Amino acid sequence: MKIVIITGGSRGLGASTAIHCAKRGMGVVVTYNSNPAKADEVVSEITAQGGKAVALKLDVGDIGAFPEFRDAVKVQLQRVWGRQTFHYLVNNAGYGLYAPITDVTEDQFDGLLNVHLKGPFFLTQILLPLMEDGGHIVNMTSATSRVATAGVAPYASFKGGLEVLTRYMAKEFGERRIRANSIAPGAIRTELGGGLNDEFEAMLAGKTALGRVGEPEEIGGVIASLLSEESRWINAQNIEVAGGYVI
């Protein structure tokens, strides 16, 4: 059985990814930051369908706590699956901030930097010794790195950095046959940045060739498929999954 670790797996795109991975027979470790009850719901849904999953607490912005998280992962891998390694890492956790460049504070900037770029960098670094050769890393980027959208400059810049980091991961980890790709969603209906109101949704749908915003399962299913054997030759790519956003 392949094991996948999904950060921010308690809600939105991460939760959908967890459920799709479990449907394909993977064992799932989801992490949550502030919402253990939602993470438990994801674990219960997977367990009810005959899969195996556990939830662990992780603040992706708290790099100093990563050794403790790595140790907790080791304990759960042994306890639930009787093994010491895992196969796939999905760096998905994140949050949004809407503010023009003129208003962004240094604390806001650093918070976004830590969660969207520094966190995935050092989390991957510390978990890599536990990852099987032939594994796969998926980083969650964003179409906002390609299409400048006023109000999300730091977020989009760090997602752009994560897109570049993905290619470097593919380059440096290729000798262990570990792939690295990123998925760049367009506008998807989640609670990111406070969620969508009718006006915002209509604006985003108007910028999308297929005329609507996406649903979380339209991302989760793609990631589960990307992790699977059928996608084994896809490497070092940033794949936009956005219904044709601003084309």
Q: Using CB under 6 A, list all residues that contact ligand NAP.
A: 7-8, 10-14, 32-35, 38, 58-61, 92-95, 115, 140, 142, 185, 187-188, 190-192
3-class secondary structure per residue, 170-229 = HHHHHHHCCEEEEEEECCECCCHHHCCCHHHHHHHHHCECCCCCECCHHHHHHHHHHHCH
Residue nearest ligand NAP, CB atom distance? 12
Residues 6+ apart with CB under 8 A from 185: 13, 140, 142, 143, 214, 219, 240, 241, 242
Catalytic residue among 32, 155, 168, 245: 155
- Whether 155 is catalytic: yes
Task: Give CA–CA dist 37/15, Å, rounded.
Answer: 13
Q: How far is the CB of 157 from ligand NAP (least distance, A)?
A: 13
**Whose Cβ is closer to ligand NAP: residue 41's or residue 132's?**
41
Query: What's the closest the beta carbon of residue 140 comes to ligand NAP, in angstroms?
Result: 4
Closest contact distance (angstroms) between CB of 12 and ligand NAP is: 2
CB-wise, 83 or 212, nearer to ligand NAP?
Answer: 212
Q: Which residues are catalytic?
A: 155
